[in-house]
A and B are shown apart, each in its own frame.
Chain A
Amino acid sequence: MHFHVEVRNLCKDYPGKRALIDVSFGVERGEIFALIGPNGAGKTTLLRILDLLDEPSSGTVLFRGAEVDYSIKDRKDLRRGIGMVFQRTVLFNMSTFDNVAYGLKVRGMSEREIREGVKAALELVRLQGFEGRNALALSGGEAQRVALAQALAIEPELLLLDEPTANLDPRNASIIEEVLSRVNREGKTTIIMSTHNVFQAENLAHRIALLNEGKIERIGAFQDIFERPHRFLSEFARLENVFSGFSKATPEGTSIIDVGNGLHIEAAFERSGSVIVHIPPEDIILSTRPIVSSARNTLEGLVVQISDLGSIVKLKVRSNRDFTAQITKRSFNDMKIGLNSKVFLAFKASSVKMI
């Protein structure tokens, strides 16, 4: 048996930069394979090579054991079995229906097949009734779901996704995650996706590859990789609210973790020694007045960065360490927060998760 997709000794050089260095791995048919790594690790480069948009500088790509020869015909034929969702949502300036139908049209399918294919794909991403809307007028989350429907409409054997939920609000992100696990379960679609979200990888992927500076650092199941702290994780810039530190168990069955810079965090687990913890941004309560609550951790800081993601707003708050908090657009507007506003943060000990 061959791997569905296999790469051997893949290298990709750009002028002045080595984007991929000797990357080798194989992905089984029906497997979900996640690429995790910080920005610039080479995730996008690798996915582009797998979608045959770029050629590797050296090394080989094999589909079902057959080496890709990069002739125009070979590229097109192979690509017809591959769906790709790009990190930056790209849609055509036409109706949602026409966008999703495009892949079917270029395959010369009949009107009826196209209608049915589009209907099924839009149902899958829960965008029934959006057919007539212009795709460029959709919200960020809807647009990314249309992009996913475009890739799904062609019923690909292999689905490539480049950070499909980056910058999406949790509702749209969870719809996409659901769709991915469903097509993998029901259609046996092989999925290779890059993500910066470790929990997404844990929830979805059968296997994970850690990519850093163009090299694969580790490959394996989630537990194998994350059972002990990995040096690499501390460099994990994109994952928010990740801190490494020394944990001390308390008599109450919790732990106090010294994460540096004079900051101590209380966590609901009992552990002594080096740990890496993560606090999900949506678990942090943010206020403009001092917070009196049962939460074990309270901090005070200044807003240093504001990212508007549509219905939600992410705020970077500088305290002893930097924290990212997530609030709705409405409360953001109500609280009249701007850059350098003084805010207070609170989170429960149970929100502090060890990774």
Chain B
Amino acid sequence: MESPFIEEVLSITLLSLRVSGLAVLIGALAGVPIGTILGFKRFRGKRTLMRLMDVALRSFVNTLMGLPPVVVGLVVYLLLSSSGPLGPLRLLYTPTAMILTQLIMVTPIIIGVTMSAVGGVEESIREKALSLGASNWQATWMVLREARMGLLTAIIVAFGAAISEVGGIMMAGGNIRWFTRTLTTAIVTEVELGNFALAISLGIILLTMAFAINLLLTIMQLRGVRG
């Protein structure tokens, strides 16, 4: 195959990785602390109002976990559009807009999975650390450390959702060739053009990449089990 083709596939693949990778990274930086706070049982208030708010917040996060990507893409589009409130930032149809879309999509997933992972690591770990003289921060860090399998699962799930997503980045990124075309949007375009063989090849690249990254994360997870 001619080299411009390979160059284009390479740039598409790198963009996919860059957008989904950064979205998950930033999502993790925001989602893990929030999920930790929500996951900790001791933050659950004793008063009815606090408990109601807690339940509402959890349900909200769980709802956001199921947000349809196209809806997120549309909201981001309307926000970043020249006629929208964030229009002056001129971010529409850029990779940044795509990252933002996927960020909105994956953060609730990361929060949700972190929440249950941290909630699953018993309060006893925190108390054990405290009783050995740890500060509150050190004890919280220990809980996160014990919940690390769950945190990795959060990252794996979020990355899987991000890398395979089409509708949202199509809306916010515009599927512009050489600029915002990712593996998934390229597949849509190639299918539309009737280039099924090329679409399948791109699909295989996507799958291989997702597999490689999951393999890496799973190896990390298995090493983590051994401590």
Touch between A and B in complex, CB under 8 Å?
yes
By a beta-carbon cutoff of 8 Å, the part of chain A in contact with chain B is 51, 53, 72, 76, 79-80, 82-84, 86, 88, 90, 92-95, 102-103, 106-107, 134-136, 150-151, 154
CA distance A50 to B135 in the complex (A): 18
Which chain B residue has the least Cβ–Cβ distance from A75? B130
Interface SS of B by simple majority: helix
Contact between chains at A92 and B130 (CB < 8 Å): no
B125 touches A82 (CB 8 A): no
Q: Does B132 contact A (CB under 8 A)?
A: yes
In the complex, are the beta carbons of A92 and B146 less than 8 A apart? yes
- Asked if A79 and B227 make an inter-chain contact with CB atoms under 8 angstroms apart, the answer reads no
CA of A150 to CA of B125, assembled, Å: 14
Distance of A92 Cα from B130 Cα, bound (Å): 13
Q: Which residues of A contact B132 (CB under 8 A)?
A: 83, 102-103, 106, 150-151, 154
**Are A72 and B134 closer than 8 Å at their CB atoms?**
no
A residues near B127, Cβ cutoff 8 Å: 53, 86, 90
CB distance from B98 to the nearest CB of A (A): 37
- A73–B120 Cα distance when bound, in Å, is 28
Which of B129, B133, B145, B146 has the largest count of A CB atoms less than 10 A from its CB?
B133
Asked whether A93 lies within 8 Å of B133 as measured between CB atoms, the reply is no
User: How close is A263's CB to chain B, nearest CB, in angstroms?
Assistant: 42
Residue of B nearest to A160 (CB): B131
Q: Is the CB of A53 within 8 A of B226?
A: no
- Contact yes or no, B226 A84, CB < 8 A: no
B227 touches A134 (CB 8 A): yes
Residue on B nearest A93 in the bound complex, by CB: B227
B227 and A53 form a contact (CB under 8 A)? no
Given contacts A90-B125, A92-B146, A93-B146, contact A106 B133 (CB under 8 A): yes
Cα(A107)–Cα(B134), bound, Å: 8
- A90 touches which of B124, B136, B226 (Cβ 8 Å): B124
Question: Would A94 and B131 be within 8 Å (CB), given that A72-B136, A88-B124 are in contact?
Answer: no
In the complex, how many angstroms separate the beta carbon of A160 from the nearest chain B beta carbon?
Answer: 8
Is B142 an interface residue when CB atoms closer than 8 A count as contact? yes
Report the Cα distance A39→B59, complex, angstroms: 37
**Given A88-B124, A90-B124, A134-B226, A51 contacting B146 (CB threshold 8 A):** no
B129 contacts A136, CB within 8 Å?
no
Residue of A nearest to B225 (CB): A93
> In the assembled complex, which residues on chain B have CB atoms less than 8 Å from the CB atom of A150?
132
Task: Please give, as numbers and ranges, the residues of chain B lying within 8 Å of A90 by CB-CB distance.
Answer: 122, 124-125, 127-128
- Tell me the minimal C-beta distance from A355 to chain B in angstroms: 33
Q: Which of A82, A88, A94 contacts B227 (CB 8 A)?
A: A94
Q: Is the CB of A106 within 8 A of B138?
A: yes
Q: How far is the CB of A30 from chain B (nearest CB, A)?
A: 22
* Cβ B146 vs Cβ A79 within 8 A: no
CB distance from B209 to the nearest CB of A (A): 31
* Beta-carbon nearest neighbor of B121 in chain A: A93
A79 contacts across to B, CB distance below 8 A: 130-131, 133
Give Cα A67–Cα B87 distance, bound, in whole angstroms: 61
- Please state if A107 and B124 are interface contacts (CB–CB under 8 Å): no
Minimum CB distance partner of B226 in chain A: A134
When C-beta atoms are compared, the residue in chain B nearest to A135 turns out to be: B227
